[in-house]
Chain A
Amino acid sequence: MRLFANAAAILLGFGLWAPKTAVVSSLPAPSSLPRVDFIVSRGPRDMEELTRQKIVHDYAEAWQTLALGLEQNRAELLNGYFTGFAKQEFGQTIAEQGGIGIHRHYVDHGHRLQALFYSPDGGVMQLQDDTEYEVQVFDGARLLHVGKVSVRFLVLMTPAADRWMVRLMQSVPAT
């Protein structure tokens, strides 16, 4: 019996037995935006420093609200930084997972942004985001899956009255 207990302890230590339940961590403070690094802009319109700073801030806010929305199943959180297809699709996802008791917890490890295209009139920007995060999928309190993900997103952002909004966010296979 003692041997079995030892073996079980060792197995747990090696992480081979995934816990069946998990406590969702507390909500991130409003100031804990994910880290976003902006590394290059390819035009054709030159990007002002202020615009670059605003993109970095608003994209980080968008990810924070998306993560909170998927964790708390609150689609209204998308209103701040999502519009168009992105808002529609993520809103539908949140509604669907909320309806069947699923939620996701994201641990964001940061984003590396490149502006692939900034339209001549300043009306649309396409970004490439190379990001890493950990996602935990829960059914109620039961942890179904933990995955560490490195993924590339193509993102379309458009300016609104006082911020840039995510209009489309689509993951692509990293090359």
Chain B
Amino acid sequence: MRNLCCTFLLCSAFVAVSQAQTTLALHLPANVSAGEALVVSSSGTGSRTFYLIGPGHVAKRRFLAGDSIQISPDETAIAGSYQAIACNGQECAATDFYVTPNRGAELVFLVHPSRVPVGKLDAISAVTVVMDRFHNLALQPEGVTFRAITRETAVSSPPQTTRNGVAWTRLNSGLEDGTVQIDASLGQLSERRVVQQVSAEPCKLHASAEHKGGRIVLQTDPVRDCRGNAVPDGTIVTFTKLDKLGTTTVDAPIKKGVARTEMGFAGPATISVASGVVAGNETYMGGSR
């Protein structure tokens, strides 16, 4: 008898709890699109509290059981797992649902570097992250086209299909200095970045020297790379003088295409010029001033 009573009480309590869970239960779809309004239905009677717990939003409001609960588009903007929780004074019941991202509506476009030497293979990295209008990663595969446009040419890639919202490519730099515009486009969406193509290392670096009073004036010819592009102003050219006093070095930036400097003269000297890894000519200055 005692066992029977115990079993009965156990079952009664279990049923009561189960009923509470059942009457608190909220009815909503398992999957919802980001930014979609929802109407959550409830059952039972009495005053309850509704909680919405999401990755980018948390809300709490009172409602009457039996009424429907409105979830606005703003509340489901962020994709991910959500929990809808309904509580009465004693119990709570939770329902999970997932908010899926929408199709791509925004491109995050990363291009690197911003300056690149001409004539280099795979020198430019272009990465696009496709996001929906709520800044969720757009997970459906979509075709992104990359385009490189210079003064003379325009080259398009075949559409690159996004994987997990990311598409990427590598581009060679052109043969002439100047800007290259890199575009990424997805349907009507387009993002643009500009990369400055600069000349490569100087080629055939040549400097001349002349006496001027008690000094030597050193000046390079116009400094160009091997394709004839002017090496950018600011590039450092190093002049080195070796005489009886030892070695003297002067770094001079290129200005208006040439590098220029002056050094003291203390007798016969050998003067060399270099820029980066490129060595230029050697000049011998001998005799009197």
Contact = CB atoms under 8 A, between A and B. Distances in A.
Interface string B61-88: 0000000000000000011110101010
A117 B9 contact: no
Interface in B247-266: none
B164 A116 contact: yes
Interface stretch (A30-38, A105-113, A118-126): A118-126
A31 to B, nearest CB: 27
B168 A117 contact: yes
A100 B62 CA distance: 12
Interface in B15-74: 17, 49, 51, 53-60
B58 to A, nearest CB: 4
A111 to B, nearest CB: 16
A22 interface: no
Given A7-B10, A17-B17, 4 more contacts: A20-B90, A89-B55, A102-B51, A124-B110
Contact of B81 (A17, A92, A149): A149
B127 interface: yes
A147 B112 CA distance: 43
A16 B60 contact: no
Contacts of B53: 97, 102, 104, 137, 145
B191 to A, nearest CB: 15
Nearest to A92: B56
A102 B57 contact: no
Interface stretch (B132-140, B172-180, B209-217, B272-280): B132-140
A16 B9 CA distance: 14
B13 A93 contact: no
B94 interface: yes
Interface string B1-14: 01001100110011
> Max chain B CB contacts within 10 Å: which of A92, A101, A124?
A124
B10 A119 contact: no
Interface string A133-175: 0000101000011010101001010000000000010111100
A89 B110 CA distance: 22
A46 interface: no
A85 B135 contact: yes
B125 A121 contact: yes
29 contacts: A4-B9, A8-B13, A16-B13, A17-B17, A44-B168, A93-B58, A96-B57, A96-B58, A96-B59, A102-B53, A119-B125, A119-B168, A121-B112, A121-B113, A121-B125, A121-B127, A126-B164, A126-B165, A137-B85, A144-B92, A145-B53, A145-B85, A145-B92, A147-B83, A151-B81, A156-B137, A171-B80, A172-B139, A173-B98
Interface in B148-179: 163-166, 168, 170
A120 B125 contact: yes
Give the 3 A-B residue pairs with the shortest CB-CB distance, closest first: A121-B112, A7-B9, A89-B56
B207 interface: no
A175 to B, nearest CB: 11
A123 B136 CA distance: 20
Interface in A75-113: 85, 89-90, 92-93, 96-97, 100-102, 104
A20 B88 CA distance: 11
A6 interface: yes
A109 B139 CA distance: 26
Contacts of A27: none
Nearest to A20: B90
Given A149-B81, A168-B137, A120 B59 contact: no
* Most chain A beta carbons < 10 A, residue from B49, B56, B170: B56
Nearest to B90: A20
A7 B170 CA distance: 70
A23 interface: no
A11 B101 contact: no
